[in-house]
């Protein structure tokens, strides 16, 4: 089917949370609110799941004490976005987010195979617009980790923002997270 | 950048009616469910509203009391579509209450100015897929009546179906509705 040339109804995050509360979505109805649109997430294959486990382990070691590593849980990104990134690193413990989802993770990681274009162009622009300082894509297609930093305005990007610094790191390289500058995460530890 | 990397969550008509019943939408919102997508209807200008009145009057005279002439009311078109055509004609009387939202439509009329391309390609394909036998567009841009008939499969159309017969009638011509073969409506009576 061709693209809908009409204006689609946009959802705010408040409305989206209301849809969840009144039980509109069925269990297994995997959706994320991205820039006002309810987007369907693709089912995960085993390399994707394995990469999430590896990243979780590596991030737990890098971010000791005072941080939480959350796996596929929602973040309150902006007024029209509530994505569920594969991994987010947030300050504090689980009870700090009892009333509301975290809004400002210090690091967001997506594991990408078939979703690579979506994670780069769409989510990348969305995270940049929300001024998230650091965004990684574990790129399973090319077996690299893409490190995105320095969000800034970019009229050609989907949501008007993009990351100005992009690094592609191979298996023999490592990366020091901005929020944990004294640690190093080996790219090899992130790749399945 | 293309929108194609994102798959939006599609709604069924049952879910859409559920959202309406649970007051998820604001009361001032004008929405239509078209092929699973929630589409926002643009506000109408004066020529548009005048044309609605004219068509309503003409159809009432042509069809008589055994038909329901409905103005901008929802129709149960298919499992993932609940449009609100400017006018729709269904058999029976409203008081019968057998079908609060009719699904068998003898005629659908849209009044088009800015929405012309959308009403032709997109809605036309949707109505053709639902086998609406007679679809008219009161084209305010060119001041003609476009009559679409003989719906059939068409792989190039947005919803896989299209009308195979298209006639453009100018003000001095007239039209006989398929479902009211003894009536004749002057196109001039439909144009503001």
With bands split at pLDDT 50, 70 and 90, how would you rate the model's confidence at A4? low
Residue B85 has pLDDT above 90, yes or no: yes
Do the chains contact at B8 and A38, CB–CB below 8 Å? yes
Mean pLDDT to the nearest integer, B55-72: 95
Residue A2 has pLDDT above 60, yes or no: no
CA–CA separation, A150 and A165 (whole Å): 6
Nearest CB to A40: which of B3, B8, B37? B8
Mean pLDDT to the nearest integer, A48-60: 97
Its ipTM equals 0.82
Of A43-47, B38-42, B98-102, the range with the lowest mean pLDDT is: B98-102
Tell me phi and psi for residue A186, to 5 degrees: -75, 130
CA B182 to chain centre: 23
With bands split at pLDDT 50, 70 and 90, how would you rate the model's confidence at B100? confident
Of B54-58, B94-98, B173-177, the range with the lowest mean pLDDT is: B94-98
CA-based nearest residue to B88, from B101, B96, B78, B80: B101
- Cβ(A6)–Cβ(B122) under 8 Å? yes
Terminal CA-CA length for chain A: 36
Do the chains contact at A9 and B35, CB–CB below 8 Å? no
pLDDT the model gives residue A153? 98
pLDDT the model gives residue B5? 67
pLDDT the model gives residue B1? 35
Distance from CA of A181 to the nearest CA of B (A): 34
Closest residue of A to B4, CA-based?
A3
Whether A114 contacts chain B with CB within 8 A: no
Mean pLDDT to the nearest integer, A87-109: 96
Interface of A with B in 4-63 (CB under 8 A): 4-9, 15, 18-19, 22, 24, 29, 31, 34, 37-40
Distance from CA of A137 to the nearest CA of B (A): 16
Interface of B with A in 19-38 (CB under 8 A): 19, 22, 24, 29, 31, 34-35, 37-38
CA distances from B22 to A138, B19, B29, B141 (A): 40, 5, 14, 39
Interface of A with B in 52-111 (CB under 8 A): none
Nearest CB to A5: which of B38, B40, B117? B117
Of A140-149, B5-14, B183-192, the range with the lowest mean pLDDT is: B5-14
Is pTM beyond 0.80? Reply is yes
Do the chains contact at B31 and A9, CB–CB below 8 Å? yes
């Amino acid at each position: 089917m061709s693209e809908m040339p009409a204006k689609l109804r946009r959802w705010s995050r408040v409305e989206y949370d209301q849809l969840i509360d009144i039980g509109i979505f069925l269990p297994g109805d995997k959706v994320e609110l991205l820039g006002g649109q309810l987007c369907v997430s693709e089912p995960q294959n085993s390399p994707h799941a394995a990469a999430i486990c590896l990243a979780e382990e590596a991030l737990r070691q890098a971010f000791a004490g005072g941080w939480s590593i959350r796996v596929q849980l929602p973040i309150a990104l902006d007024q029209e976005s509530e994505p569920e990134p594969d991994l987010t690193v947030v300050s504090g413990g689980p009870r700090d987010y009892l009333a509301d989802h975290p809004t400002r993770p210090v690091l967001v990681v997506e594991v990408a195979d078939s979703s690579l274009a979506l994670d780069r162009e769409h989510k990348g622009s969305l995270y940049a617009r929300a001024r998230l300082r650091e965004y990684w894509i574990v790129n399973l297609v090319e077996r690299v980790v893409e490190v995105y930093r320095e969000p800034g305005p970019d009229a050609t990007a989907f949501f008007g923002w993009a990351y100005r610094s992009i690094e592609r790191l191979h298996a023999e390289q490592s990366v020091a997270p901005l929020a944990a500058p004294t640690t190093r995460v080996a790219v090899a530890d992130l790749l399945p | 950048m293309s929108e194609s990397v994102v798959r939006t969550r599609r709604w069924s008509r049952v879910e859409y009616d559920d959202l309406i019943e649970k007051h998820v939408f604001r009361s001032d919102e004008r929405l239509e469910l078209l092929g699973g997508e929630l589409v926002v209807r643009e506000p109408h200008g004066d020529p548009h509203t005048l044309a609605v009145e004219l068509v309503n009057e003409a159809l009432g005279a042509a069809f008589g009391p055994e038909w329901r002439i409905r103005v901008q009311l929802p129709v149960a078109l298919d499992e993932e579509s609940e449009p609100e055509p400017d006018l729709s004609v269904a058999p029976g009387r409203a008081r019968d209450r057998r079908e609060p939202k009719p699904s068998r439509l003898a005629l659908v009329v849209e009044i088009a100015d800015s929405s012309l391309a959308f009403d032709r390609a997109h809605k036309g394909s949707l109505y053709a897929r639902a086998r609406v036998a007679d679809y008219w567009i009161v084209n305010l841009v060119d001041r003609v009546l476009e009559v679409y008939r003989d719906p059939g499969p068409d792989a190039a159309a947005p919803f896989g179906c299209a009308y195979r017969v298209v006639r453009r009638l100018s003000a001095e011509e007239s039209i006989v509705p398929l479902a009211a073969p003894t009536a004749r409506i002057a196109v001039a009576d439909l144009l503001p």
